[in-house]
Amino acid sequence: MSQTVQIDPILLGKVSKPARYIGGEWNSVVKDHGAVKLTVAYAFPDVYEVSMSHLGLRILYALLNERSDVAAERVYAPWPDMEQLMREQNYPLFTLETKSVVKDFDILGFTLQYEMSFSNILNMLDLAGIPMFSKDRGEDMPLVIAGGPCAYNAEPLADYIDVFCLGESEESVQDLADTVIRWKEGGRQGGKRALLKQLAALQGNYVPAFYRVSYNENGDFEEIVPLEPEAKQQIDKCVVADVEHVYFPTKPIVPNIDIVHNRAVLELFRGCSRGCRFCQAGMLYRPVREKTPQRLLELARDIIANSGYNEISLMSLSSADYSRLPELVDMLLTEFKDKKVSISLPSLRVDSFSVDVAKKVQQVRKSGLTFAPEAGTQRLRDVINKGVTEEDLLAACTNAFENGWSTVKLYFMMGLPTETDEDLAGIADLAYKVLNLYRSITHKNNGKVTVSVSSFVPKTHTGFQWFGQLPVEEIRRKQEYLKSLIRDKHISYHYHDATTGYMEAAFARGDRRLGRVLYEAWKLGAKFDGWSEFFDYERWLEAFRLAGLDPAYYARRSRDVQEALPWDHLSDGASKAYLQREWQRSQSGELTHDCRHLPCTGCGICPTLSVHVIDNEEGRTVEKTAFSY
Amino acid sequence: MKRLRLAIKKEEALQFLSHLDFARVVRLVVVRAALPVCYSEGFNPHMKLSFASALGVGVSASVEYMDIELTDEIPVTDIISRMNAVSPNGFAVTAGKYIDEKAPKLMAIANYSVYLLTGPTNQALSQAELQTLLDRFNAADQVLFEKVSPKRRKTHTVDIKQHVVEPITGKAGQQQVELTVGILQTEEGSVKPVEIWDVLGSQYGLPIMTDRMLACRLGIYVRKDGLCHTLMGEEL
């Protein structure tokens, strides 16, 4: 049985937004722990408003709670004022549903969405009273598991997590639950170690304690060797072959306070094979698998009825690529015509078609449109395989301005491979072209262009995983240079401090030794590092010094395409040869087409994992010949 | 158009919501209950729904009222069961009544609220000591308080006794004290529960911390000529 925490409501009333810690939301699920066989605490290492906006954990939460033998609950990172109260009052970390202490759960599952949230994982373990290091956790402690995109480079967290789960978990989480229940019912035979061995044998599971890592005399990563027969040399991700019938929650938790994305969400499809070379999600979630418009309509109807939301967001990595988008939008508009439910598209493709769809769904509100050309010149856009031209952008903006929009937001990246000052000047140039287009179409001077430029962080499992990130000083110089080129009060220019991107890059391609850095940073007080008000660059540099490591080695070093990488054993199904080929093609600006409607490009994911592209337009059952480089 | 007045609760998980968040929660309940609710015209239609008061963060209410405009008259019992079936923890509809379309707004008539204030004591307090202290407050002709207005960054002097027209009663517990306080809103304005709590601590020696208190509103009324009437239009 789990102990519960009694929180003094008077003290709780003094922290900011106490409702973050109360639960009781509509559609949240409260179960009696005595009546289930397995308890799972799902943790998102950020504040409530961010955590509750994440679809993945909501899916797993609802899915496990469908089972009568499992109770799944939620726990998020307490904001520092609440943390202080918890430490003063000795309140251990507790779940929202039953206020049970997290330490008493069978499983504590973290989602790893961004590297800068890692410090919060350590802090949450500490607040829970759970020994931080996996090796120090006894038989009475929960099994600590983690999934999400950052699990593909698990090594910096290897000392803290018992099992990493790669890929989509809708199916595999059932196996996980069954395995743990069977082990518990069998009297926990062989202890946690035996359980870990059983889990290691299942697809997608990585138990880092079952491997030995070695480094060569230069200190470079050399190899990772399994130490147990169940531990595989390569961990393949789990993937749901057909997302049409996979579980999707139609009773979403409706928060009582406003959150970042406070609306109903409909997932149109998984995956994106446009092949932008900087994009990790584009590799990790392949292949593209669409749901049918009919299924989406059914889901939308239920989700809206069960939540009361007045907005439904059509989500995917690139929603405008949904092959039946106009048809779906018409169906939804008809369905919700008299119900005051609006439809929103979180991202637009850079073309006129997308604006046509936006026109349809945003019939009254003309808030700004956002496009992501990513780079300022055609040359560089070809390097990154962003199949977008200046004509596409101007056609999209023409359509927007002719239809009443006056604000356009443009997203770019800085510090991309082969980038020169000319490419940065191209960003300013595009912004001016868009603004002048507005002036010539509307004969008005009230247009607004926002240019938002982030600094590029090379990620694993992409064609750019070998690229050394530019030094902070060089990024700053580039930021200032671009600033000097934008001198119109109708264009606003936004960028972030480069130091966060530098630390993110170190962890994004880190190895197991970085676990020590995390620990030192946590001891120095690191938390909420994704929040600029809490991120402290000097603290992180100090943590690296204390661990005897250099962040530049991880972030800035260009890797040799032949060298062994600390994440080679964690596979999304793509072959390394394919990524090497992408890296080489990028240097000469050669494009690689999208395999969604054209022949296979040989990334290897479909043949390796026995899955295939499912696109309504191509015919849902047509399997194309796939190969792997 | 039919105008329906509902008696509702804001408790438990909802007591820490701001008025804005609470109002959104209630609107979502109305949508989920699929009530034929009226909306305003215009580009940004909003639901025709209004409350008797704006309850702050941390203030719960076992009685609050709301008016809602419906296109059709549906039996009140149906409305209550439909809304309660789709309400989150802490919200409930307890009663309802169709009222005249032209009846004055709740906000305009509600002028008297009764609160239960609870907070920890920082030294032992007997019931007799508490009673002596409250008697002194209750007998005073005038209790002046410097009210800070955060918007104008000015302070002005308020006589609390203009607003606390009934005697405060109280119960001293082991480590906490409970007070029942009625607050009258006059043309000059009102005072907050926390301000009365503060004055009893700072001016009357009640051994409490001025910032450690939870308020629960037990009732809200129309007070006329010394008599309280419920907002459902009945005399108490």
| B31: nearest CA partner in chain A | A308
The verdict on B168 and B138 lying in the same domain is yes
Q: Which residues of A touch B42 (CB under 8 A)?
A: none
The verdict on B119 and B102 lying in the same domain is no
The verdict on B193 and B217 lying in the same domain is yes
Interface test with B, best of A20, A257, A259, A303 (most B CBs within 10 A): A257
Interface test with A, best of B11, B29, B31, B43 (most A CBs within 10 A): B31
Rounded to the nearest angstrom, the minimum Cα separation between A536 and chain B is: 32
Is residue B159 a part of any domain in this protein? yes
Angle CA A42–A46–A49, to nearest 5: 95
* Secondary element (H or E) of residue A327: helix A325-335
Q: Residue A1: its pLDDT value, please?
A: 61
Which of B13, B29, B86 is closest, CB to CB, to A22?
A: B13
Q: Which residues of A touch B214 (CB under 8 A)?
A: 9-10, 13
The verdict on B158 and B187 lying in the same domain is yes
> Confidence band (pLDDT; 50, 70, 90) for B111?
very high
Sign of CA dihedral A476, A479, A482, A483: negative
Q: Which residues of B touch A13 (CB under 8 A)?
A: 16, 57-58, 214
Q: What is the pLDDT of residues A193-231, one digit of tens each?
A: 999 999 999 999 999 999 999 999 999 999 999 999 999
Is residue B210 a part of any domain in this protein? yes
Q: What is the pLDDT of residues A392-411, one digit of tens each?
A: 999 999 999 999 999 999 99
Q: Per-residue pLDDT for B154 more than 90?
A: no
> CA separation (Å) from A430 to A1, A378, A408, A421?
62, 11, 12, 14
Is residue B236 a part of any domain in this protein? no
CB contact under 8 A, B16 and A10: no
The verdict on B117 and B205 lying in the same domain is yes
Q: Which of B109, B134, B154 is the last residue of a domain?
A: B109
Query: For A8-17, B146-155, B198-207, which range has the lowest pLDDT when averaged over its residues?
Result: B146-155
The verdict on B92 and B137 lying in the same domain is no
Burial class (CB in 10 A: 0-12, 13-18, 19+), B105: exposed
Q: Residue A123: its pLDDT value, please?
A: 98
φ/ψ of A184, rounded to 5, equals -65, -45
Residue B63: give its domain's CATH number: 3.30.70.580
Q: Which residues of B touch A9 (CB under 8 A)?
A: 15, 214
The verdict on B120 and B95 lying in the same domain is no
Q: Which residues of A touch B27 (CB under 8 A)?
A: 308
Task: Provide ipTM, 2 decimals.
Answer: 0.92
> Confidence band (pLDDT; 50, 70, 90) for B234?
low
Q: Residue A16: its pLDDT value, please?
A: 95
Rounded to the nearest angstrom, the minimum Cα separation between B86 and chain A is: 8
Structural domains in chain A, CATH included, are: 9-236 (3.40.50.280), 361-509 (3.30.750.200)
Q: Per-residue pLDDT for B192 more than 90?
A: yes
CB contact under 8 A, B27 and A307: no
Q: Per-residue pLDDT for B149 more than 80?
A: no
Mean pLDDT, rounded, of chain B: 94
Interface of A with B (CB under 8 A): 9-14, 17-19, 22-26, 254, 256-258, 305-310, 340, 364-365
Structural domain range at position B154: 112-230
Spatial distance between the Cα atoms of B99 and A109, rounded to a whole number of angstroms: 52
Q: How far from chain centre, in Å, is Cα B233?
A: 17
Q: Residue B43: its pLDDT value, please?
A: 76
Q: Which of B109, B131, B146 is the last residue of a domain?
A: B109
Q: Residue A363: its pLDDT value, please?
A: 59
Q: How many pairs of residues across A and B have Cβ atoms under 8 Å apart? A: 75
The verdict on B48 and B156 lying in the same domain is no
Q: Which of B92, B109, B126 is the last residue of a domain?
A: B109
Q: Residue B147: its pLDDT value, please?
A: 84
Please give the tally of structural domains in chain B. 2
Which of B86, B87, B214 is closest, CB to CB, to A9?
A: B214
Is residue B220 a part of any domain in this protein? yes
Residue B56 in contact with partner chain A when CB distance is under 8 A = no
Q: Residue A364: its pLDDT value, please?
A: 52
Low-confidence residues of chain A: pLDDT under 50: none
Q: Residue B148: its pLDDT value, please?
A: 80
Q: Residue A609: its pLDDT value, please?
A: 96
The verdict on B117 and B15 lying in the same domain is no
The verdict on B100 and B127 lying in the same domain is no
Nearest to A25, CA basis, from A64, A56, A51:
A51
Average pLDDT on B214-220 reads 96
| Widest pairwise Cα distance in chain B | 61
Residue B40 in contact with partner chain A when CB distance is under 8 A = no
CB contact under 8 A, B58 and A18: yes
